[in-house]
Amino acid sequence: EDQVTQSPEALRLQEGESSSLNCSYTVSGLRGLFWYRQDPGKGPEFLFTLYSAGEEKEKERLKATLTKKESFLHITAPKPEDSATYLCAVGGGATNKLIFGTGTLLAVQP
């Protein structure tokens, strides 16, 4: 059974303090690993897709990396507007069916 585990559950950073969020996964065959951002009271918003070990994607202060067992979302010099819940998911393919982790709640204080 496909499984996704995210850590930590919550993370509090000072503005400018870089850190990483972890997503470990067990799947029978990885079709894709996906990162989403969710703001309070809203639906998740797509950030990145990673397909193979060694792949990296960047967007502003965020960089996602992938190994055979886990993915990291690195946040460089975060700002308060980066505060959100970050969700990791595995799946994809023809049906787009995704299995989500429970997320990391990130709070960046000014």
Partner 1 sequence: DVKVTQSSRYLVKRTGEKVFLECVQDMDHENMFWYRQDPGLGLRLIYFSYDVKMKEKGDIPEGYSVSREKKERFSLILESASTNQTSMYLCASGQKNTGELFFGEGSRLTVL
Binding site for partner 1 (CB under 8 A): 31-32, 34, 41-46, 49, 87, 89, 91-103
Query: Which structure tokens are listed for 28?
Result: 């029978």
SS3 content of the chain, % helix, strand, coil (to 5): 5, 60, 40
Angstrom distance (rounded) from CA 45 to CA 42 = 9
In the complex, what is the shortest distance from the CB of residue 17 to partner 1, in angstroms, rounded to a whole number? 26
C-beta of 78 vs 101, nearer to partner 1: 101
Closer by beta carbon to partner 1, 34 or else 72: 34
To the nearest whole angstrom, how small is the minimum distance from the Cβ of residue 93 to partner 1? 7
Q: How far apart are CA 34 and CA 12, in angstroms?
A: 23
Report, in Å, the least distance between residue 52 CB and partner 1: 14
Residue 89 phi, psi dihedral angles, 5° rounding:
-145, 155
**Considering beta carbons, is residue 37 or 82 the nearer one to partner 1?**
37
